[in-house]
Amino acid sequence: MDFMHRAAAWLAGGVVFAASCASVLAAAACLPERAILQHALLAMQSPVAAVACALPRPGPQPIPTTALVQPTPAPAPAPAPTPTVSPTPEPSPTPQPSTAPQIEDAGLIRAEQFRHGRGEGSISLSAGSIRNSTACADADLRAAVTTANLPFAVELNSDEPQVLILHTHATETYQTWPDLLYDRSAAARTRNTALNMCAVGARMAEVLNAAGIHTLHDETLHDFPSYTESYDRSRATAQEYLRQYPSIKVVLDVHRDAIEDADGTLVKPVCTIDGASTAQVMIIAGCDNGSTISLPNWRLNLRFAAAWEEAMESRFPGLTRPVLCGYRFYNQDLTTGSLLLELGSHGNTLEQVLTTAQLAGDAIGNYLAQECMAE
């Protein structure tokens, strides 16, 4: 019985050995020669170990290549648009109402055409007249205005300025609607140069320059912020212009009048020229009184005033009021062509006065140009 057990064990071991050898031989077929000998020796010692070593070892697994995530490129900034420079618009006058608004404290305006006088105290011209408000005899004034030539001569189409227009009371203004009503609570003044005396002076300067009379226009608001001493300030302005431009022969101080009845009704001096309602104009020429008003050349200024009066009234009948010759200073000692003009009054509309400025400038421009050509 023991013999049978040993035989069975021996047989089983032989089967294992044969299987091991077969495995080794199969594995060895995949090995190089030197490796075959090594595995044969190992098989004698431990067939299982030899089989394990003979099996091919897995090679290193390739590292999977992970697709690189490319960062999303930032969008290229769009080029900034080239700014378009728009031209600065020209300032325009504030639109004005065509009719009077609702006014709580409304006053009345009446129109009147002032006529030229006759008789004592009035010096008749070929067209127009002079009102003598001085102690001088009418004959004295008449002699002054009948001299042959003006006391100065302007140069036509000159590069040098010949005329200066300024405004002692630049903030004076007019009505902005044609209705015969005004606001009693409103001051007839404004700093808006499109609505005050600067607009009137600009129109005159434009006409004179177009006629070949080189004209400067000063828009200093001499009566702002203080009305007092405004003539001192305008005098300093005129003197500075005369210092810079000694070629200036004529200095015109352009104003508006203020005519009012005792009951507060405003009076606007008007006429009709070519069918258009037009403000009348009055020239003021000062006179020396021998003491407080020193105008040694007042007669020369008066001669110029008479020539302008005749030029306007002959071309545009009704446009002028009588020239006022009185004891007024108005800085008229600066040149022999220094005058003050009153275009309309605070009862007139700006439109009426701009028409007046056009006609007055046209008349004196043509007159001065003809004087130049006659020399």
Rounded to 10°, the helix 2-28/33-45 angle is 160
pLDDT band at 149 (very low <50, low <70, confident <90, very high): confident
Q: Which residues contact 314 (CB under 8 A, 6 or more apart)?
A: 126, 127, 128
pLDDT band at 372 (very low <50, low <70, confident <90, very high): confident
Higher pLDDT: 303 or 85? It is 303
Residue 93 Cα distances to 192, 196, 199, 302, 316, angstroms: 8, 11, 10, 36, 28
How much is the pLDDT for 101? 79
Number of H helices, E strands in the chain: 8, 12
How much is the pLDDT for 137? 97
Q: Is the per-residue pLDDT at 208 higher than 90?
A: yes
- Please provide residue 343's backbone torsions phi and psi, each rounded to the nearest 5 degrees: -100, 105
How much is the pLDDT for 44? 44
Which domains can be identified in the chain, with CATH numbers? 20-53 (no CATH), 106-374 (3.40.630)
How much is the pLDDT for 82? 42
- Over the stretch 175-205, which tens digit does the pLDDT of each residue have? 999 999 999 999 899 999 999 999 999 999 9
> Considering the chain, what is the average pLDDT of its residues?
83
Torsion of CA 10, 13, 18, 23, to 10 degrees: 180
Query: Token match 């608001």: residue?
Result: 221
Q: How far is residue 354's CA from residue 97's CA, in Å, rounded to a whole number?
A: 17
Q: Is the per-residue pLDDT at 25 higher than 70?
A: no
Mean pLDDT score, 60-84: 46
- Over the stretch 305-348, which tens digit does the pLDDT of each residue have? 999 999 999 999 999 999 999 999 999 999 999 999 999 999 99
DSSP 73: P
How much is the pLDDT for 226? 93
Predicted TM-score of the model (pTM):
0.74
Spatial contact of 109 and 178, defined as CB atoms under 8 Å apart = no
Q: What share of the chain in percent tops pLDDT 90?
A: 68
Q: How far is residue 251's CA from residue 239's CA, in Å, rounded to a whole number?
A: 10
Spatial contact of 266 and 109, defined as CB atoms under 8 Å apart = yes
Q: Is the per-residue pLDDT at 287 higher than 90?
A: yes
Q: How far is residue 237's CA from residue 222's CA, in Å, rounded to a whole number?
A: 9
Rounded to 10°, the helix 47-54/33-45 angle is 150
Q: How far is residue 174's CA from residue 268's CA, in Å, rounded to a whole number?
A: 10
Residues in the chain: 375
Q: How far is residue 328's CA from residue 311's CA, in Å, rounded to a whole number?
A: 24
pLDDT band at 99 (very low <50, low <70, confident <90, very high): confident
Q: Which of 299, 295, 293 is nearest to 333 (CA)?
A: 295
Q: Is the per-residue pLDDT at 19 higher than 80?
A: no
Q: Which of 161, 63, 151 is nearest to 336 (CA)?
A: 151
pLDDT band at 67 (very low <50, low <70, confident <90, very high): very low
Spatial contact of 251 and 164, defined as CB atoms under 8 Å apart = yes
177-216 burial code (b ≥16 CB/10 A, e <16): eeebbbeeeeebbbeebebbbbbbbbbbbebbbebbbbbb
How much is the pLDDT for 269? 98
- Over the stretch 114-129, which tens digit does the pLDDT of each residue have? 999 899 999 999 999 9
Mean pLDDT score, 16-37: 43
- Over the stretch 241-282, which tens digit does the pLDDT of each residue have? 999 999 999 999 999 999 999 999 999 999 999 999 999 999
SS3 content of the chain, % helix, strand, coil (to 5): 35, 20, 45
DSSP 134: S
Q: Which residues contact 162 (CB under 8 A, 6 or more apart)?
A: 154, 155, 213, 214, 215, 247, 248, 249, 250
